Structure 1
Amino acid sequence: MRDIFLYKADPVRGAEWARLFARHAPHLDFRIWPATGAPFADAAEEARVRFLAAWQPPADLAALPNLELIFSVGAGVDQLDFSTLPPHVPLLRMVEPGIVGGMVEYVSLAVLAIHRDWQSYAARQRARQWQAIRVLPAASRRVGVLGLGSLAQAALAQLRAFGFACAGWSRSQHTIAGVDCYAGAQALPAFLARCDILVCLLPLTPATRGILNAELFAALPRGAALINTGRGGHLVQDDLLAALDSGQLAHAVLDVCEPEPPGPEHPFWDHPRITLTPHVASMTQPEMAVEVVLDNLRRHAEGLPLQGLVDRGRGY
């Protein structure tokens, strides 16, 4: 009998995963978790589940006694309750190139839109105003990225190519060519003081929840802009609204909220200095995702280091 690879996420993308598994891994029995009903005929089938890919795993993973690997279908794992996951089963986040490429595109788009005053021109178009704003060179605009993981480093490489003065901050020290790197809580104020545009690409952990707050906004230059492509939980929403209304922040681009979507009466929808997108900065591409998953399955079988292994103690 074949081992079962169980998929529990968007069923439309799951169908694409199923076609790719049938082509590239026919030795595995690929199953999509059903919207209703039981996914397995009996305990014998449950015992054949060796691998799970999910956004949110099944509630009772104890029913899958032979589970060997858990894959998050997204780049982050903050949506998971680690206490419900078997501690002996490795947890892997998605590291496929499509996620990186999508994030680089989105961050570049958002930074360039702010740099070239796209929101102001949109407002002037609606007001039928033909009025230019002085164009400043990218080198005069200081961009800072909170978080220096793989997504952030790829985004910084592209921003450097445009000529922006780039800096990054993280908990631990990094060295990146052409990027001023800051590390630790004591260096955060100095980092923020040189950010005309601040991009949040931090993982969401208890230590980073609410980091985008009034204190942080006050440490930015007056008139700075915020781009949040991390998680909605990073942002204290009332503090953002106050910073925008006071002029401390000029604009915010938000791809994430908490909750998602925001309610129909939420002030983010209509705020003139907020650009809101529905968590689309990057998306897992099935072709590349399956390639990465199958490579990790090979590594697992051969006893090699796994790509995207999550340190549960750190939360990412």
Structure 2
Amino acid sequence: MDRIQSMQVFVAVAEEEGFAAGARRMGLSAPSATRAINGLETQLGARLFTRTTRRLHLTDVGQRYLEDVRHILTSLQAADDTARGAASAPVGLLRLTCPNEFGRIYILPILLDYLDHYPDMRAELVLLDRVVNIVEEGFDVALRIGHLPSSTLSAVKVGAVRRVLCAAPAYLERYGTPETPADLSAHRIVAVNVISSATEWRFGAQQEIAVRIAPQLCVSTVAAGRDAAREGWGLCRMLSYQAGRDVAEGHLTCLLEDYEPESMPIHLVHTEGRRAPAKVRSFIDFARDRLRADPVLQALSSSKGCGLSA
């Protein structure tokens, strides 16, 4: 087995956390995968894995080597793509991650169309409501909501969202419409992902207005909070894209728009810049055009009625 294939086996075994699973991914037998890893460790003079009866763990050396090997294999793939003109017909596995709700509403439909357009591609979409280290966890592309810290990642802005307060028209008819953040003390509040019974919401362009609230209902997902608001039970705060369809269809109304915090950008990020492989470039181009065409992700002014339209 040559050095490049041994590296590919190493990555597969590391990501699958097992020789048998890594070998299956590579279309090899488990003994062949074991020999490849043993050969690498002999060449390097270092242990890459700690083996137990139950699990396989990367050593510190193995973790650093994994990051370096991923870069090498990505660069090699990019060189091959350039040589064969694969930009017009990308092939291989594309691994993506994004927030759960955004992925369900936006990325999954885009990805299905992308796979129809490029039938030689395969994809894995992982929906996680946390910031993922795409290098360490082996992702090609991540979608992130919010201002990006300084890093070596390449980023393409595809839109922006706002944090909005919503209620059903039936609720507003019954309890009235809050005119300022201070009015919230007189209203029923549905809070999302709140551990304690009392918390704080911030309003204003720079979030300079702090309002202490005591929610009567706390839920663990935006979908549950949105459903409660739709039923006319109370007010719920969420991101503008999460309320988009219900606002467009008249089920929810945005409130206190003059007090909304500054909008948050949406980016597609990846690691390789202009040398990104064809599969990454083609997906980013495909998704960028679709996301930038969506009015919910582009209308940032509160004067546009939550930036949402049917």
What's the TM-score, normalizing by structure 2? 0.33
Higher helix share: 2
Normalising by structure 1, we get a TM-score of 0.32
Larger RCO: 1 or 2 (CA < 8 Å, sep 6+): 2
The structure in which a higher percent of residues are strand is 2
